[in-house]
C-alpha cells in the first residue's frame, strides 16, 4: 500500500484515485463514486 501512498487499510481506489479510506461504504455509494469518475473521464 505504500506504493500508492496509503497507510490505512481498507482503502478503495477508483481509476488510481484514492476514494474511500478506512471504510467500506455501502454499494450505492461505491456505484455513485464510480459513475462520477466515469462522468469526469467522459467530458
Average pLDDT of the residues in 6-30: 90
Enclosing H/E stretch for 7: none
pLDDT of 33 strictly over 90: yes
Q: How confident is the model at residue 31 (pLDDT cuts 50, 70, 90)?
A: very high
pLDDT of 40 strictly over 80: yes
What's the confidence (pLDDT) of residue 2? 55
Q: What percent of the chain has pLDDT over 70?
A: 91
Backbone φ, ψ for residue 5 (5° rounding): 80, 30
For 1, 4, 31, 32, 33, the CA distances from 27, given in Å and listed in that order, are 23, 23, 6, 9, 10
Amino acid at each position: 500500500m505504500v506504493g500508492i501512498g496509503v497507510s490505512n487499510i481498507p482503502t478503495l481506489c477508483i481509476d488510481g484515485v484514492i476514494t474511500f479510506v478506512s471504510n467500506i461504504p455501502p454499494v450505492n455509494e461505491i456505484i455513485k463514486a464510480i459513475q462520477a469518475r466515469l462522468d469526469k473521464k467522459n467530458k
